[in-house]
Amino acid sequence: MVVSPLTSLDDLIGIKHCKLGFYQDLQRKVEELKSSNIELESQRKENQAILDAITDLMVVLTDDLRIRTVNHVFNEWYPGVYPIGKHCYEILRNRETRCEECPVLDALDKDEISKDTCIYKVDKKYRHFELIASPLKTGATSKRQVLLFKRDVTLEKEFQAQFYQAEKMATVGTLAAGVAHEVNNPLTAISGFAEGIRRRLKYIKNGVDEELYEDFSEYTDTIISECLRCRDIVRTLLTFSRPICASFTRLDLNKCVNDTMIVLKHHIKDSNKSSVKVVLDEDLPEIMGDESQLKQVIINLLVNAFDATKDGGSILIKTYSDEHNWVGLIVEDTGCGIPIELQDKLFEPFFTTKPVGKGIGIGLSTCYSIVRSHGGEIGMRSEEGAGSSFCVRIPGADQNEE
């Protein structure tokens, strides 16, 4: 029988030292892990703060277009919707099939960043979106993923359109001034000679055939009336270069609307298929403006509304003011509406959606020039088949005097 030797004191001390060293190493590792975790948590919070500061919608998609994760913006854009595991086109586009030109699929096919823009309706208004799809380099071979950025650029597009419109109007204004000057001289001569012929016709009435006299009289009247029409067009062209706004006075926009309705009374009677409703703000502040020019704006907008509702519909004319002392006019109809692809061109000179012979396309561009010369804004929204709404905003008189 073998008897184990007794453990000596030195052995026990050695064992204690080993345990002490082990615990010290363990404690040091724990402290290092704690420090590392603090750094990781700090880095995580910093990354989260960066992500939270992003105002674009971010969505991570699998290669079969299912949503894997979203950022905080998703809950702001789509409140109450749980997207995880669902197809992106179901949530983002409210459709049951894939989009025809999908930037995500394009990014997966080419393995590179893909960009696209789209326009679709959100809350009854068409909005512009910019899409950027970027493949994620995760190292996984079985499942590919794509990071999709979706950015609302509607306001940016509107500002760009206003800038381009101002540039075009300045160019057209220079051109219109030259054309109007060149046309006005021969037009004055034609009109003057036609007036002279009409005054002299009475002296030859008894010396020529009656039918011939009637023809000459009719031709002369037609020449003069067409000269007057051309003169009005020339004056309208001149508003592009130097709007007639010298006689600015304090005036009531409600009175302008009422006076215009009286002028268009016969037009309203002829358009018996359209119902017209006028809603005027009784506490409307006064504005500084040229009364005849503003009436021209109202007439142009109303005539367009009548044309849009010639087959039936309703027209609303409304005035209002806001907390910033701006005075507004809304002319809204439930007529044919304007295709979205044409809406950006509406305020361009000589662009019209009316049939040939029904308009020359300077009505809305003239409205734009007049409203801008009053320091105001004009905008529109329209949906094909549902109607259009034009809104004019002009600073109140008290605001202009500050």
What is the per-residue pLDDT across 258-306, written as a single tens digit (0 to 9) for each?
888 877 776 666 655 678 889 999 889 899 988 888 888 888 898 888 8
Query: In the structure, what pLDDT confidence band is assigned to residue 312 with cuts at 50, 70 and 90?
Result: confident
Query: In the structure, what pLDDT confidence band is assigned to residue 366 with cuts at 50, 70 and 90?
Result: confident
Within-domain flag for 235: yes
Within-domain flag for 43: no
Average pLDDT over residues 74-101: 84
Within-domain flag for 299: yes
173 with 257, same domain? no
Domain span at residue 386 reads 249-401
98 with 234, same domain? no
99 with 234, same domain? no
Q: For the stretch 61-83, what's the b/e string if a residue is b when 16 or more beta carbons lie within 10 angstroms of its beta carbon?
A: bbeebebeebbebbeeeeeeeeb
397 with 270, same domain? yes
Q: Name the residue among 119, 237, 218 with its Cα closest to residue 176.
A: 237
Domain boundary pick from 206, 221, 241:
241
What is the per-residue pLDDT across 110-126, written as a single tens digit (0 to 9) for each?
888 888 887 776 666 66
pLDDT at 353: 61
Report the Cα–Cα distance between both ends of the chain, in Å, rounded. 115
313 with 385, same domain? yes
Within-domain flag for 16: no
Domain boundary pick from 194, 211, 241:
241
Average pLDDT over residues 188-207: 85
CATH code of the domain covering residue 111: 3.30.450.20
Pair 353, 364: CB distance under 8 Å: no
Pair 65, 88: CB distance under 8 Å: yes
Q: Answer with the residue of higher pLDDT: 327 or 228.
A: 327
pLDDT at 268: 67
Within-domain flag for 41: no
Within-domain flag for 284: yes
265 with 340, same domain? yes
312 with 383, same domain? yes
Number of folded domains that form the chain? 3
262 with 311, same domain? yes
Q: What DSSP state is assigned to residue 276?
A: E
Q: Answer with the residue of higher pLDDT: 179 or 382.
A: 382
pLDDT at 184: 76
Q: What DSSP state is assigned to residue 334?
A: -
- Highest mean pLDDT among 171-185, 265-279, 305-319 belongs to 305-319
Pair 165, 347: CB distance under 8 Å: yes
In angstroms, rounded to a whole number, what is the distance separating the alpha carbons of residues 370 and 297?
7
In angstroms, rounded to a whole number, what is the distance separating the alpha carbons of residues 164 and 368?
13
Average pLDDT over residues 210-219: 85
Within-domain flag for 309: yes
353 with 269, same domain? yes
CATH code of the domain covering residue 267: 3.30.565.10
Q: Answer with the residue of higher pLDDT: 96 or 177.
A: 96
pLDDT at 263: 73
pLDDT at 357: 46
233 with 253, same domain? no
Domain boundary pick from 119, 152, 185:
152
What is the per-residue pLDDT across 126-169, written as a single tens digit (0 to 9) for each?
677 888 888 887 665 557 888 888 888 877 777 776 666 666 66
Share of the chain above pLDDT 90, in %: 6
